[in-house]
C-alpha cells in the first residue's frame, strides 16, 4: 500500500511539472492568435463596415466578449475540469478564426464581428492558464510556475504580427489568409491541451471547510487580496492606457506608422521576456521587491514619455512599461492564488479576472479620447496616482504579514 501511494505521488508530481510546460506552449499559441487579431482587426473592420463609424466594433468585441465570458469560464471549469474547459476555449477561438475567414471572403461585417467575439471567448479561457499552473504547485513555487507560462508569449509576441503580414495575401481577398492562421493556431492549442495537459486530482476539501467557504466580500477584504487586485488591475490599466495611445501619439509626433507598430512590438517583448527571470527574482529578493520594481518601472515610463517625444523615448518608455507590467502581473497573480481556499477558487478567480478585464477594457476605450483632448503628456501623468494606490495597498499587505509573523513567533507554541 505504501509503495502504491509513493508511486501515485510521484506520478502526480510529474503531471504537475509537465502541466506548466504544456500551458506555456498553449500560452504561446494563444498569444500568437490574439496578436494577429489585434494587429489586423481594426483594418479589416474598416474594410468591411457598412458604416465606417462601426469599424472599431469587431476590435472592441474581443475585449467585451472576454469580459462577459470570464466568470462563466471559471465556474464551468470548476464543474467539468480545466482540461475540458481549456479545450472548449481553444475550439471556440479556432471556430472564430474560421468564421472570420468566411466573413471576409463574403464581405460580411456582422459575421466578422461574431468571429472576433469568439476569439474574445478564447481569451477568457486562456487567461486561466497561469492560474492553473499556480494552483498545481506548492506556494513557494507559484511565482515560478506563473512566469513559465507567461514566458510562452515571448516568441508569440513577435511571431503573431509576422504571421499576420506573411499570410494576408494567401487568398485573393486581403487579410482572409491571416485569419486562417488564427484557426490553425487554435487547432494547435486544442492538440497541445488534449494530448499534453492533465487535470491533477482535485485537492480534497474537508467537509467543514466546504461548509464555511467565505463570502467574496470577506475574501476580497483581506490585505493579500487587495494587494493582488491592486497589482493585477492597476498594472493592467496603466499598461493598456499607454499601449493603446502610444501608436497614435507616435504618429502625432511625426513618427511613421511603421515606427508606431515597432514600438508596440518592442513593448510586447518587454511584457513577456521578463517571465524567464521574474519567478527567480521573487524567490531571491522577495515578492515586495519585485512588485515595487514593477511600479517604479511603470512610473519611469510615465516620466520618460512626458519628458520627450523622440523616437528613442517612445521605445524606452514602452519597454519599461512592459517589464513593469510583467513584474506586477506575475506578483499579483501569485498573491491571488494564495488568497483563497480550494473551495473558494472558482468564484474568487472568476471575479478577480472579471474586475481586471472590465477596468482594462475601459482603459483601452478612454485612452483615445483622453489623448485627443488632453495630450500625450497628461495621459501619462494620470497613471501616477494609480501607481501610488497600488504601492499603498501593497505596503498595507506587507505590514499585515509582518504583524501576523510577529504574533506567531511570540506565541507560547512557537517558543517551546
Is residue 219 domain-shared with residue 321, that is, in the same domain? yes
The answer to whether residues 217 and 169 belong to one domain is: no
DSSP for residue 308: -
Residues 87 and 118 in one domain: yes
Scanning 273-310, the segments in alpha helix (DSSP H) are: 275-285, 287-307
Question: Is it the case that residue 411 has pLDDT exceeding 80?
Answer: no
Angle between helices 2-48 and 57-80 (to 10 degrees): 160
Q: pLDDT confidence of 383, banded at 50, 70, 90?
A: very high
- The pLDDT tens digits of the residues spanning 122-175 come to 999 999 998 898 887 878 888 888 888 888 888 787 788 788 888 988 999 988
User: Which CATH number belongs to the domain containing residue 59 in this structure?
Assistant: 1.20.1250.20
| Last residue in a domain, options 170, 197, 224 | 197
Q: From residue 177, give the alpha-carbon distance in Å to each of 164, 166, 339.
A: 8, 9, 44
Q: Mean of the per-residue pLDDT values for the chain?
A: 86
Domains held by the chain: number: 2
- Residue-wise pLDDT tens digits, 252-270: 888 886 787 678 778 888 8
pLDDT of residue 8: 42
Do 120 and 231 have their domain in common? no
Per-residue pLDDT of 80-121, as tens digits, reads 999 999 999 999 999 999 999 999 999 999 999 999 999 999
Alpha helices in 136-203 (DSSP H): 142-151, 153-167, 176-196
Domain residue limits at 169? 16-197
Highest mean pLDDT among 40-54, 322-336, 364-378: 322-336
| Same domain (yes/no): 182, 288 | no
CA distance linking residue 341 with residue 36, whole number of Å: 37
Question: Are residues 298 and 256 both part of a single domain?
Answer: yes
Amino acid at each position: 500500500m505504501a509503495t502504491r501511494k509513493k508511486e501515485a505521488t510521484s506520478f502526480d508530481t510529474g503531471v504537475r511539472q509537465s502541466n506548466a510546460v504544456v500551458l506555456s506552449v498553449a500560452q504561446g499559441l494563444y498569444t500568437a492568435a490574439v496578436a494577429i487579431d489585434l494587429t489586423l482587426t481594426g483594418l479589416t473592420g474598416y474594410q468591411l463596415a457598412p458604416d465606417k463609424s462601426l469599424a472599431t466594433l469587431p476590435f472592441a468585441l474581443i475585449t467585451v466578449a472576454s469580459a462577459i465570458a470570464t466568470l462563466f469560464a471559471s465556474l464551468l471549469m470548476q464543474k467539468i475540469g480545466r482540461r475540458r474547459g481549456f479545450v472548449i476555449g481553444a475550439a471556440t477561438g479556432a471556430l472564430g478564426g474560421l468564421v472570420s475567414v468566411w466573413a471576409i471572403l463574403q464581405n460580411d461585417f456582422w459575421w466578422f464581428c461574431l468571429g472576433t467575439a469568439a476569439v474574445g471567448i478564447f481569451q477568457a479561457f486562456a487567461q486561466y492558464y497561469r492560474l492553473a499552473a499556480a494552483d498545481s504547485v506548492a506556494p513557494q513555487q507559484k511565482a515560478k510556475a506563473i512566469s513559465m507560462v507567461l514566458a510562452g508569449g515571448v516568441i508569440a509576441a513577435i511571431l503573431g504580427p509576422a504571421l499576420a503580414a506573411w499570410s494576408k495575401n494567401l487568398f485573393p481577398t486581403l487579410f482572409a489568409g491571416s485569419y486562417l492562421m488564427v484557426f490553425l493556431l487554435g487547432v494547435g492549442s486544442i492538440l497541445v491541451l488534449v494530448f499534453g495537459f492533465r487535470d491533477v486530482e482535485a485537492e480534497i476539501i474537508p467537509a467543514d471547510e466546504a461548509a464555511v467557504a467565505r463570502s467574496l466580500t470577506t475574501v476580497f477584504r483581506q490585505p493579500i487580496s487587495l494587494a493582488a487586485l491592486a497589482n493585477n488591475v492597476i498594472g493592467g490599466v496603466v499598461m493598456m492606457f499607454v499601449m493603446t495611445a502610444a501608436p497614435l501619439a507616435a504618429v502625432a509626433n511625426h513618427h511613421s506608422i511603421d515606427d508606431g507598430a515597432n514600438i508596440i512590438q518592442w513593448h510586447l517583448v518587454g511584457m513577456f521576456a521578463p517571465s524567464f527571470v521574474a519567478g527567480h527574482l521573487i524567490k531571491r529578493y522577495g515578492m515586495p521587491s519585485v512588485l515595487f520594481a514593477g511600479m517604479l518601472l511603470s512610473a519611469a515610463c510615465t516620466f520618460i514619455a512626458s519628458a520627450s517625444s523622440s523616437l528613442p523615448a517612445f521605445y524606452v518608455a514602452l519597454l519599461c512599461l512592459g517589464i513593469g507590467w510583467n513584474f506586477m502581473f506575475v506578483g499579483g497573480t501569485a498573491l491571488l492564488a494564495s488568497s483563497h481556499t480550494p473551495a473558494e477558487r472558482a468564484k474568487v478567480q472568476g471575479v478577480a479576472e472579471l474586475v481586471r478585464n472590465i477596468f482594462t477594457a475601459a482603459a483601452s476605450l478612454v485612452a483615445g479620447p483622453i489623448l485627443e483632448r488632453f495630450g500625450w503628456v497628461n495621459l501619462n501623468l494620470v497613471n501616477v496616482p494609480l501607481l501610488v494606490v497600488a504601492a499603498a495597498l501593497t505596503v498595507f499587505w506587507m505590514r499585515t504579514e509582518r504583524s501576523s509573523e510577529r504574533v506567531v513567533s511570540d506565541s507560547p507554541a512557537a517558543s517551546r
